[in-house]
């Protein structure tokens, strides 16, 4: 949500309170689209007439979804699997305009290449606590940027809110979002936030 704040967007955060397990097995792209829609529907049902923006971000390697780790051991396992490899980060965004009834959905994709990570580097990162509550067990906008060698695609997608996509989807519903840089802040994986 820091990206939205940096863009000057006023918003209120609401927890959707849904079970993020789909009713049937889904591939990675369908999964993030389903999750973003389910979150948006849950919030829209509680706040009539509001513009609801929901997103879901997942890390994917070899069609396996690396969601948020359940504990430190799983976080370390995720990082070992991603070490030295290029994976995809998908973020789906769902818009529901409660006033007009407009709905818009889209997906953004970024390729991220991780460094070869030693067991010591993985342990130190996991101990920092930053790996918890992050898809793929890393936060590129934090110390996790040191785990990454390169990205190809929108940086803000990896953070969890692709601003170009959000701007387009809101525009489809007739809601202008005026931001100086729709690709998000001028950041690279090695810059601090």
Name every residue whose Cβ is closer than 8 Å to that of residue 155 and which is 6 or more positions away in sequence.
110, 140, 183, 184, 187, 188, 189
Characterise 133 by phi-psi region: left (phi > 0), alpha (psi -120 to 50), beta (else).
left
Question: What angle (nearest 5°) sits at the alpha carbon of residue 85, between those of residues 127 and 116?
Answer: 50
133 catalytic? Reply is: no
Length of the chain: 193
Annotated catalytic residue within 2, 19, 56, 119 = 56
Q: Enter the tokens of residue 37.
A: 């829609």
As annotated, the active-site residues are 56
């Amino acid at each position: 949500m820091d990206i939205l704040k940096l863009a000057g967007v006023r918003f209120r955060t609401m927890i959707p309170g849904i079970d993020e397990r789909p009713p049937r097995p889904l591939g990675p792209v369908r999964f993030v689209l389903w999750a973003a829609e389910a979150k948006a529907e849950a919030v829209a049902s509680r706040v009539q007439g509001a513009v609801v923006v929901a997103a879901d971000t997942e890390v994917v390697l070899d069609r396996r979804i690396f969601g948020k780790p359940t504990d430190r051991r799983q976080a370390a396992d995720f990082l070992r699997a991603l070490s030295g490899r290029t994976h995809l980060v998908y973020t789906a965004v769902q818009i529901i305009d409660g006033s007009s009834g407009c709905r818009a959905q889209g997906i953004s994709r970024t390729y991220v290449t991780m460094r070869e990570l030693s067991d010591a580097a993985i342990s130190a990162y996991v101990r920092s606590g930053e790996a918890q509550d992050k898809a793929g067990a890393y936060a590129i906008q934090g110390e996790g940027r040191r785990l990454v060698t390169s990205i190809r695609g929108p940086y803000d997608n990896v953070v969890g809110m692709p601003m170009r996509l959000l701007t387009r989807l809101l525009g489809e519903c007739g809601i202008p979002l005026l931001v100086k840089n729709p690709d998000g802040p001028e950041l690279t994986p090695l810059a601090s936030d």
